[in-house]
């Protein structure tokens, strides 16, 4: 009964999406506002209908309906209720429903906004969002149905189908396979929804951009309307990447947080394109430039969102993050290709109408530096894209799958990220319009001299890595320039209004949240850069097999093996847990308990590290083997990760800065008047 209601809700949602897209396009072409309004209401109705389907899946998961194939695949009797609920996005079918539910929610939120000033864009925004939604719903209904049941054919074979095959009998296993143990970490409970929110949010600015192209609007109204959507998308995608890194660090047991896995990169690429877009739209708003480029960037971001989802769900690449092989790959690939070609065709059609009103007059003007910033982002993106598709290309032409490893990525991408840090330190001091090397140099030289103090101290204290010294200097330069900008703005406000410096700083940020939120983001990037340099260049490791009472040394740490205990748990695990006494510089600093959990139902082990964590460093210990008889011998792998916690601290500040930048602020009356005038002029054209 529940599965029937859920499936019917999906079908109705699919019909609503198709109707909404068709009615909106027809209503716009024939100047039938009543049809456009009908399409808008269909869009609003899609979210509650998909909510019914999602709630039906959750009800089946919580109830343990193992006659439903999806429930049997991702839950088991041993799983607690909260994990059964989050299993909605723990498998292919459920995650597609969750993606569609978010898409419908965002589309409905857009449909509820005031459209008085953008009535001409409404039908085409509906068309884009509803076509995207209809595509994902078609994948669910025709390929990955979460309501399919398990049947036993007359020949005794097990099959899955929504309706009962002829002669088949229903089957209800007593228990399910359970969620992949790797997905039971708190980070993985939150990580996928954050990524999905980021992916789905980027559909909205893309829809507005395509609507502007269709109706021939050449102003920047679509950018202003979707600015907050873009920041929210960027926020969620960034948060999803940070949480994914933390999950990898805690669960995958290799001492790192980023392995250049294809699916990791697939989520990173739209973030890179979105970052470039966020920087370049500021130039369009300020100077009326880069209109073609911004359209290309939002098209690229949307396409990469689809491409990342395709890689995760098609099974074309092997990854710990990816779902199994699926039949949706060809359909997904075709949709990406068609949407990309149609988007480019619309852009080329309006190319002549998108000419900028200004030109770049100086190589060191802010718009020039922003354009260089974009170039570096796209270079990084191109390298990552090439690395991801190289196995597919090599297999296509040679019959052998050849992959590229982390070292290849790091050698190429590292210098490009260094260039981005340099631009982050220089660009805030440049000006829009005309800016000279001499003017920039006068502002910069004292700050550069101050930033050199940090690498000088590191050099004196024994650091000899040229890459680390360069990286720390660039990160320090960004921090010094950013703090200088805060101090300069707050000091000017204090002199003007007689406020204390903290009050002036808070009010300054409140008056220009986008600018100063961006500066907070830069400070978060600085801390993350310190952490990345620390672990990537200075990580050390060792491995050894210890008898009870023996010790293993790594740097200033000594680890003494005290023994190992093994026990079973009520949720279907056998836990093997070692005990280590930890000493630093000869002084006891506590105990660590690295362990290995073996899940009986999945027949899968999972390594849980023991970690001694401080702001300065992590001591990261893995139990990689032990003697099953006697329990007197165990093998450990140990990592010393300097400054790794700066990555998580920087990530938190990064998110805080994005929230500040995205926080709603009232648009000044003169700006509203200019926007209305520009809109009227564009409509007159």
At 321, is the pLDDT very low, low, confident or very high (cuts 50, 70, 90)?
Answer: very low
Spatial CA neighbour of 209 closest among 84, 293, 142, 143: 293
DSSP 68: B
Q: What is the mean pLDDT of residues 313-327?
A: 55
Q: Span 626-631, mean pLDDT?
A: 68
Q: DSSP letters along 551-586, please? A: EEEETTEEEEEEEEEEEE-TTSEEEEEEEEEEEETT
Under a CB-based contact definition with an 8 Å cutoff, are residues 451 and 477 in contact?
Answer: yes
- Residue 404, pLDDT score: 86
Closest CA to 419 of 464, 463, 369, 385: 369
Q: What is the DSSP secondary-structure string of 224-288?
A: HHHHHHHHHHHHHHHHHHHHHHHHHHHHS-SS-S----HHHHHHHHHHHHHHHHHHHHHHHHHHS
Q: Which two tokens stand for residue 434?
A: 């005309």
Per-residue pLDDT at 391: 84
For every residue of 113-142, DSSP letters joined together read: S--GGGTTTHHHHHHHHHHHHHHHHHHHHH
pLDDT, tens digit (0-9, with 9 covering 90-100), for 339-389: 999 999 999 999 999 887 778 878 888 889 999 999 999 999 999 999 998
The residue-averaged pLDDT of 63-67 equals 93
In angstroms, the CA 87 to CA 112 distance is: 31
Amino acid 314: pLDDT: 61
Look up the pTM and report it. Answer: 0.91
Q: Please, which pLDDT band fits residue 116 given cuts at 50, 70 and 90? A: confident
pLDDT tens for each residue of 553-589? 999 999 999 999 999 988 888 999 999 999 999 999 9
- In whole angstroms, what is the distance from residue 256 CA to residue 248 CA? 7
pLDDT tens string 1-33: 899 999 999 999 999 999 999 999 999 999 999
pLDDT of residue 158: 85
Dihedral angle of Cα 315, 316, 320, 322, to the nearest 10 degrees: -40
| Mean pLDDT taken over the chain | 89
**pLDDT digit string, tens, across residues 630-653:** 557 999 999 999 999 999 999 999
Confidence of residue 108 (pLDDT cuts 50, 70, 90): very high
Q: What is the CA radius of gyration of the chain?
A: 28
Cα distance between the two ends of the chain: 56
Euclidean distance between CA atoms 423 and 474, whole angstroms = 9
pLDDT digits (tens, 9 = 90+) for 652-682: 999 999 999 988 765 554 545 554 554 444 4
Asked if residue 524 has pLDDT above 70, the reply is yes
For residue 448, the model assigns a pLDDT of: 95
Taken in order 316, 319, 325, 331, the sign of the CA dihedral is: negative
pLDDT of residue 677: 55
Answer yes or no: is pLDDT of 204 > 70: yes
Residues 269-296 as b or e (16 or more Cβ within 10 Å = b): bbbbbbbbbbbbbbbbeebbbbbebbbb
Do 207 and 128 touch, CB atoms closer than 8 A? yes
pLDDT tens digits for 237-248?
999 999 999 988
Q: Are 74 and 144 in contact (CB under 8 A)?
A: no
Q: How confident is the model at residue 315 (pLDDT cuts 50, 70, 90)?
A: low
Determine the length of the chain: 685
Q: What is the strand order of the sheet 158-161 is part of?
A: 158-161, 149-152, 169-170
Task: Identify the pLDDT of residue 537.
Answer: 94
Q: Which of 97-101, 116-120, 319-323 has the lowest mean pLDDT?
A: 319-323
Looking at the chain, the whole-number percentage of residues with pLDDT higher than 90 is 64
């Amino acid at each position: 009964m529940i599965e029937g209601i859920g499936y019917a809700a999906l079908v109705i949602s699919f019909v609503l999406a198709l109707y909404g897209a068709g009615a909106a396009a027809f209503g716009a072409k024939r100047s039938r506002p009543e049809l456009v309004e009908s399409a808008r209401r269909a869009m609003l109705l899609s979210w509650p209908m998909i909510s019914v389907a999602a709630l039906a899946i959750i009800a089946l998961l919580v109830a343990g309906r193992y006659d439903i194939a999806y429930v049997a695949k991702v839950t088991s009797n041993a799983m607690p209720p909260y994990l059964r609920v989050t299993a909605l996005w723990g498998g292919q079918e459920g995650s597609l429903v969750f993606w569609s539910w978010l898409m419908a929610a965002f589309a409905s939120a857009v449909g509820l906004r005031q459209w008085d000033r953008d009535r001409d864009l409404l039908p085409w925004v509906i068309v884009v969002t509803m076509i995207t939604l209809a595509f994902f719903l078609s994948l669910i209904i025709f390929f990955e149905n979460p309501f399919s049941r398990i049947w036993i054919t007359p020949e005794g074979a097990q099959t899955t189908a929504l309706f009962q095959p002829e002669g088949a009998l229903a089957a209800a296993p007593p228990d399910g396979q359970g969620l992949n143990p790797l997905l039971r970490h708190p980070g993985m409970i939150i990580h996928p929804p954050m990524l999905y929110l980021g992916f789905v949010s980027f559909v909205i600015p893309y829809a507005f951009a395509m609507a502007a192209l269709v109706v021939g609007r050449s102003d920047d109204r679509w950018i202003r309307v979707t600015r907050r959507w873009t920041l929210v998308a960027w926020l969620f995608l960034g948060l999803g990447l940070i949480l994914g890194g933390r999950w990898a660090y805690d669960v995958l047991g290799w001492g790192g947080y980023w392995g250049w896995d294809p699916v990791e990169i697939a989520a990173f690429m739209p973030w890179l394109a979105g970052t470039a877009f966020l920087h370049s739209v500021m130039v369009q708003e300020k100077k009326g430039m880069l209109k073609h480029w911004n359209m290309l960037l939002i098209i690229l971001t949307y396409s990469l969102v689809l491409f990342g989802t395709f890689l995760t769900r098609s099974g074309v690449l092997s990854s710990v993050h990816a779902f199994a092989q699926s039949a949706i790959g060809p359909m997904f690939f075709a949709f990406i290709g068609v949407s990309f070609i149609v988007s480019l065709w619309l852009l080329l059609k309006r190319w002549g109408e998108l000419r900028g009103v200004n030109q770049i007059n100086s190589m060191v003007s802010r718009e020039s530096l922003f354009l260089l910033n974009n170039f570096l982002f796209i270079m990084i993106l191109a390298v990552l894209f090439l690395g991801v598709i190289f196995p597919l290309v090599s297999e296509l032409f040679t019959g052998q799958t050849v992959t590229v490893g982390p070292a290849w990525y790091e050698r190429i991408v590292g210098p490009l990220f260094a260039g981005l840090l340099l631009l982050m330190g220089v660009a805030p001091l440049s000006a829009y319009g005309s800016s000279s090397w001499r003017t920039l140099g006068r502002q910069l030289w004292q700050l550069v001299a101050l930033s050199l103090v940090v690498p000088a101290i590191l050099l004196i204290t024994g650091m000899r890595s040229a890459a680390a010294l360069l990286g720390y200097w660039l990160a320090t330069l960004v921090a010094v320039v950013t703090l200088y900008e805060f101090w300069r703005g707050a000091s000017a406000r204090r002199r003007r209004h007689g406020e204390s410096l903290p009050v002036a700083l808070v009010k300054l940020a409140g008056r220009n949240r986008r600018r100063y939120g961006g500066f907070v983001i830069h400070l978060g990037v600085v801390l993350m850069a310190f952490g990345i340099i620390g672990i990537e260049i200075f990580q050390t490791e060792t491995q050894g097999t210890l008898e009870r009472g023996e010790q293993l040394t790594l740097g200033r740490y000594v680890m003494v093996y005290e023994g190992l205990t093994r026990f079973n748990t009520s949720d279907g695990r056998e836990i093997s847990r070692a005990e280590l006494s930890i000493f630093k510089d000869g002084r006891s600093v506590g105990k660590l308990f690295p362990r290995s959990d073996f899940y009986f139902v999945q027949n899968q082990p999972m390594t849980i590290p023991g970690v001694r964590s401080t702001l300065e460093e992590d001591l990261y210990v893995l139990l990689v083997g032990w003697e099953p008889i006697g329990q007197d011998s165990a093998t450990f792998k140990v990592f010393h990760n300097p400054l790794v916690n700066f990555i998580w601290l920087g990530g938190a500040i990064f998110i805080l800065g994005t929230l500040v930048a995205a926080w709603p602020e009232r648009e000044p009356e003169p700006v509203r008047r200019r926007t209305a005038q520009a809109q009227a002029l564009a409509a007159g054209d």
